[in-house]
Amino acid sequence: MKITRLTFITVFAFSSLVGVNHSYAAGEESAGSSKAAITFTAGSGPVEPSNPTNPTNPLFPGGPTDPTDVPTGNTGPLTLDYVSSVEFGSHEISNTTVAYSATSKKPFIQVSDRRGTGAGWSVIAKASKFTNGTIETLPGAVLSFKNATVNSIGTGNSPSAVQTVALSTDGSTASSVVSASTGTGLGTWLTSWLGINPDVKDGELNNNVTLTIPAGSATVGNHEATITWTLTDAPGV
């Protein structure tokens, strides 16, 4: 009991002393300043394609549904790095107009803007006429890309994708695909038209990419058209 009381008194006495002493000597300060500096120049080499479902991963080695096109190899501070081909499988000829969904589940294009100016850019696409290797075929066919997603490994301001791109296969009509207004689209950006479960080879078709064939246009055999994607340094709206 005495020990407890002594302890209480000691603490109380110490607290009282602290409460009385309100003045402290201010410590002396000595300050200086320094700088952190870094310099950037515009990018120049080619940029490898990323996986459209997870841009932090490279496209190659690919998964079961990855596109197999090779990178463009373009170099410079503003580049179109990658464009995908699209496949629509084999079908019986129909007597009606039919929109065929793609078997390609992860078609995409990739743009890298390493200019560091935020000047903006835009991509347009144009489809040639279909041929069977000898003559022009499938007159009136239309390629459509819908419900685009735009993503990046970075955190900058996103470019804007056209949500329905209809490419007439006449060899001359160009359509806007994706554009970056001033201050947007810096870094690497992927514009993708993904199917259901794009990483799984489950037989599901990609309804976001279609080829419409008018009635009476289809003929027996293989048919192929070329899509030309063009990137310019003109900013989008």
Q: What total number of domains does the chain contain?
A: 1
Domain coverage including residue 126: 50-232
**For 119-138, what is the mean pLDDT?**
97
Is residue 88 a part of any domain in this protein? yes
pLDDT digits (tens, 9 = 90+) for 193-205: 999 999 999 999 9
What pLDDT does 25 receive?
Answer: 57
**For 23-50, what is the mean pLDDT?**
87
Per-residue pLDDT band for 89 (boundaries 50, 70, 90) equals: very high
- Distance CA(22)–CA(24), nearest Å, equals 7
Is residue 216 a part of any domain in this protein? yes
Is residue 45 a part of any domain in this protein? no
Q: Strands, E, within the chain: which ranges?
A: 50-51, 54-58, 78-83, 98-102, 108-113, 121-127, 130-131, 136-137, 142-146, 149-152, 160-161, 164-168, 174-180, 187-192, 206-213, 227-232
Is residue 17 a part of any domain in this protein? no
CB atoms within 10 A of CB 103: 17
Q: Which segment of 35-49, 57-71, 178-192 scores lowest on mean pLDDT? A: 57-71
- Give the percent of the chain with pLDDT over 90: 79
Say if CB 119 and CB 146 are below 8 A apart: no
Average pLDDT, the chain: 89
Is residue 177 a part of any domain in this protein? yes
Is residue 34 a part of any domain in this protein? no
